[in-house]
């Protein structure tokens, strides 16, 4: 299985000390050079910087079509553009993206994608974590993760952590 990741899922999970979930859910993760550069900038002091440099299950893949990256850069930042380009070039099974614009473009291009909440939901289904809510709360508090109240409740309901009767 080929999984390509943008910066935000790696950094967010590193901020809550749960980067291991990516390996447990997906095995090997491939990141483009731009994502490695973003994460390892400033000497590895960025959240996840040391891990990305040291972990053998996070691999750097080379994007071979600079024209595709240039076209994607019209709408996305460099990391997102390279992640999508690398996912296309490698026929990835999934690309991990959190930004709405990047996810919309991935959907338009027919790329299977997942965001951070999808990753956590998969981890719960695989019984790698007992509950989503503590991790979601940790992401909000420690990683400045933004999520609407409605989506927060919907994710918890889907995971069986919030009774449907509690929904406004």
The answer to whether residue 133 sits within a structural domain is: yes
Instruction: Give the pLDDT of residue 43.
Output: 58
Count structural domains, the chain: 2
User: 67-88 pLDDT, tens per residue?
Assistant: 999 999 999 999 999 999 999 9
Q: Tokens for 57?
A: 């299950």
| Domain closes at, from 96, 117, 138 | 117
Listed in sequence order, the residues at least 6 apart from 121 whose beta carbon sits closer than 8 Å to its beta carbon are 132, 155, 158, 159
Q: What is the span of the domain harbouring residue 113?
A: 3-117
Alpha carbon distance 144, 49 (integer Å): 18
The answer to whether residue 51 sits within a structural domain is: yes
pTM of the model: 0.91
Backbone CA torsion sign across 144, 10, 94, 87 = positive
User: 14-32 pLDDT, tens per residue?
Assistant: 999 999 999 999 999 999 9
Percentage of residues in the chain with pLDDT exceeding 90?
83
Choose between 24 and 44: higher pLDDT. Answer: 24
CATH number, domain containing residue 33 = 3.40.50.1010
Say if CB 58 and CB 11 are below 8 A apart.
no
User: What is the residue-averaged pLDDT of the chain?
Assistant: 92
């Amino acid at each position: 299985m080929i999984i390509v990741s943008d910066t935000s899922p790696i950094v967010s999970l590193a901020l809550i000390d749960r980067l291991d979930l990516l390996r447990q859910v997906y095995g090997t993760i491939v990141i483009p050079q731009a994502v490695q550069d973003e994460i390892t900038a400033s000497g590895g002091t960025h959240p996840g910087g040391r891990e990305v440099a040291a972990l053998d299950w996070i691999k750097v893949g080379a994007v071979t079509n600079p024209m595709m990256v240039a076209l994607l850069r019209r709408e996305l930042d460099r990391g997102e553009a390279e992640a999508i380009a690398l996912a296309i070039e490698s026929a990835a099974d999934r690309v991990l993206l959190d930004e709405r614009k990047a996810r919309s473009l991935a959907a338009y291009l027919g790329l299977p994608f997942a965001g951070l909440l999808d990753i956590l939901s998969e981890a719960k289904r695989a019984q790698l974590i007992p509950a989503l809510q503590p991790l979601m709360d940790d992401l909000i508090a420690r990683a400045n993760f933004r999520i609407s109240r409605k989506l927060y409740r919907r994710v918890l309901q889907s995971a069986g952590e919030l009774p449907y009767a509690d929904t406004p």
